[in-house]
Chain A
Amino acid sequence: MQKNEKVKDSMSSTAKSTQFKQGIYRGIPIFIGYFPIAIAFGLLARESGLTYLMTVLFSVMVYAGASQFIALNLLQIGAGGLEIVFTTLLVNLRHLLMSASLAAKLSKRTKIPILAFGITDETFSVGSLQPGKLQPPFFLGLSIISYTSWVCGTAFGYVVGTILPPVLQTGFGIALYAMFIALLVPSAVKSSRVALIALVAGGTNTLINHLGFPVVGLRLVFAILAGTLVGVYLLPGKEGKQ
């Protein structure tokens, strides 16, 4: 059985290298999007009094934009370590959903633990919208270029962040959202069900935000669940069996 699966799933090394390069290529938008944010993080970390080593280590080990910024913020207002870690847990609960969804796109044999380290909002979005099964070399390439941008941007920002013109930084602020839009639009145009799922999730997120709900990550969890549940229970999908 195991041997059979192995034969079925195995790719030639050229196919793997093609997949890996494809992943890197698809990750270029994430690289562009992460870099200015990482620069801002490096800069802010220095202003918060972190050493260079700690700042770089922060991005190397945690690799989660939102919670890293929140941690700096909490640090500045004098929060304790446990409080910061607990907030991180809440902010990153959405990864549970994304990780589960991504796992369903991989064949069982290829669930390599290190691949999970690369799951972010952005790599998840790009990876899960790839047609067909998700190939590990693809996701590895995608993750490596994204991770490189985040870590290098952090190191770079700590050193030279103040020199960069602010206009350049803010203009790039739209980059990741432009990517999300570019990923969503083709599917949403093709399927009204997809469009409705996204709109319900986006609408829920906007509404909760408007009501003053503070934790970004939890907001996302509720919004994603709302959109997904509408998609599964209220609308018959292409299977149309319900």
Chain B
Amino acid sequence: MNFFFVILGMFIVTYSSRLLPFITLDIQRIPAKMKRFLEAIPYAALGALIFPEVFYAVGENVVAALVGALTAFFAALITRNVVITIVVSVAATSLVIFLS
């Protein structure tokens, strides 16, 4: 039951990091520059979430991950649809895994 306290500790630090800016930030009082900073975060976050981890998304099989990522890129470019992009990308990745 000792591990429960580890989980509790992890809950506290995780929820705090999610909660504190969320409830303390007063949008009306944020300077314009800070606002631009906050608005740019999603794009920076997406870039950092994609690279370099996308190359290791399929374990050792970097080729399959690369094919999946490129497929996703073109599917997104053409369809602009998240669900279709995922389905096509997973299918392409699975195919490469299956063939290799």
With A99-B19, A170-B59, A171-B58 known as contacts, the answer to whether A227 contacts B86 (CB < 8 A) is: no
Tell me the residues in window 1-40 of chain B with beta carbons closer than 8 Å to chain A beta carbons: 2-15, 17-23, 25-28, 30, 33, 35-40
Tell me which of A32, A128, A200 contacts B47 (CB under 8 A): A200
Residues of chain B having any CB pair with chain A under 8 Å: 2-15, 17-23, 25-28, 30, 33, 35-54, 57-59, 61, 64-65, 68-69, 71-73, 75-77, 80-83, 85-86, 89-90, 93-94, 97-98
Tell me which of A117, A181, A194, A219 contacts B50 (CB under 8 A): A181
Interface assignment of A124: CB less than 8 Å from any CB of chain B: yes
Interface assignment of A160: CB less than 8 Å from any CB of chain B: no
With A178-B68, A178-B89, A232-B37 known as contacts, the answer to whether A98 contacts B23 (CB < 8 A) is: no
Contact A224 B44 (CB under 8 A): yes
Contact B51 A181 (CB under 8 A): no
Give Cα A95–Cα B15 distance, bound, in whole angstroms: 9
Contact A223 B18 (CB under 8 A): no
Number of A-B contacts (CB under 8 A): 290
Q: Which residue of B lies closest to A205 (CB)?
A: B48
Q: Which residues of A contact B4 (CB under 8 A)?
A: 54, 57
Contact A201 B45 (CB under 8 A): yes
Contact B17 A93 (CB under 8 A): yes
Tell me which of B25, B40, B50, B64 contacts A197 (CB under 8 A): B40
Contact B48 A113 (CB under 8 A): no
Tell me which of B11, B19, B38, B58 contacts A116 (CB under 8 A): B19
Residues of chain A having any CB pair with chain B under 8 Å: 26, 28-29, 32-33, 50, 54, 57-58, 61-64, 67-68, 71, 75, 81-82, 84-85, 88-89, 92-104, 106-108, 111, 113, 115-117, 119, 121, 124-125, 128-129, 167-168, 170-189, 194, 197-206, 209-210, 219-220, 223-229, 231-232, 237, 239
Selected A-B contacts with CB under 8 Å, 26 pairs: A57-B4, A57-B7, A81-B6, A99-B21, A108-B27, A113-B19, A116-B18, A116-B23, A125-B45, A170-B97, A174-B72, A175-B89, A178-B69, A178-B85, A180-B54, A182-B75, A184-B43, A197-B44, A202-B51, A210-B52, A220-B45, A220-B48, A228-B40, A228-B44, A231-B40, A231-B43
Q: Which residue of B lies closest to A80 (CB)?
A: B6
Q: Which residue of B lies closest to A183 (CB)?
A: B46
Closest CB in chain B relative to A46 CB, distance in Å: 13
